[in-house]
Amino acid sequence: MLFTDSVFRPLDISKSYWNYVFYELADSRTKNLFLVSSPATILLILGSYLYFVLKWGPEFMKNRKPYELKKLLMVYNVCQIIVNVYIFLLGVKVSYTVNNFFCMPIDYTNSELAQLFIYCFHIYFINKVTDLLDTVFFVLRKKSNQISFLHLWHHCLMVIVTWMAVKYIPGGQLGIVGLVNSFVHIILYSYYFLAALGPSFQKYLWWKKYLTRFQLIQFCLIFLHSSLIFVTDCDYPKWAVTICLPNAIFFYYLFYDFYKTSYTPQSNHRNGQKIN
């Protein structure tokens, strides 16, 4: 009996801890949303994603010619533009209901406005999952030089962070991240659409280097707005901002390093790298 207890007790504790963290602490309003219920689903998606882009995909393409995918990429980029415009407009609609942009607590009721916040967060999260296709297309086109640490880290972390936001804190202060980021992605995917049209459009893409500057400004805005939680008496989970801020700093560093390496006079230009 003692032996059995010593074997199964750690399993019971682990199960209880799992249920507490991923179910009891979670927002009950989002538990049945697509891809939100269990972390196992997201871990499976990200595990499959990394396995494909780092191992199986390159091996599959090793002795094959790159797929052109021009029409598919054009459709994909247009869809991304439409989705991000939709998310941005939803964010603007929600913004009109905010009384204080410096302090945006979470509405835990089932009001129409609270449900709209949840919907916005969920759509934004799903969009971050579909963003993983960017890397899949790189593999199929044999653009391995564009699959950088920055690219993989950014895509994986955005899926994890937005999943956590929907599951635990769907609304409030960090909603500004989705608003700003969706606007940035409208511009990014517009650029990618034009670039996919072919060399004849390259002369219209002189503003490419400003995309990274735009993203650096984005991280600064997110950092400053999120930091207000610590200097105001705002009823918003500080643990969420504590996770957000270091990542904003880290992303800023990585994107700035990319910009410095790619676009400064001393750099060896790595043309065409996609970093969204």
**Catalytic residue annotation:** 154
The sign of the CA dihedral 33, 37, 43, 44 is negative
* Exposure b/e, 208-244, CB count within 10 A at least 16 = b: eeebbeebbebbeebbebbebbeeeebebbeebbebb
**What's CA 195's distance to the chain center, in Å?**
22
Question: Residue for token digits 């700035």?
Answer: 256
Contact (CB, 8 A) for 241 and 174: yes
Please measure the distance between the N-terminal and C-terminal CA atoms of the chain and give it in whole angstroms.
56
Dist CA 150 CA 173 (whole Å): 26
Contact (CB, 8 A) for 117 and 170: yes
The alpha-helical segments, DSSP class H, found in the chain are 2-19, 39-51, 57-61, 70-95, 112-130, 133-140, 149-168, 175-196, 209-227, 238-263
Contact (CB, 8 A) for 131 and 87: no
Q: Provide the greatest CA pair distance for the chain.
A: 77
Q: Measure Cα distances from 254 to 116, 215, 230 in Å.
A: 33, 11, 25
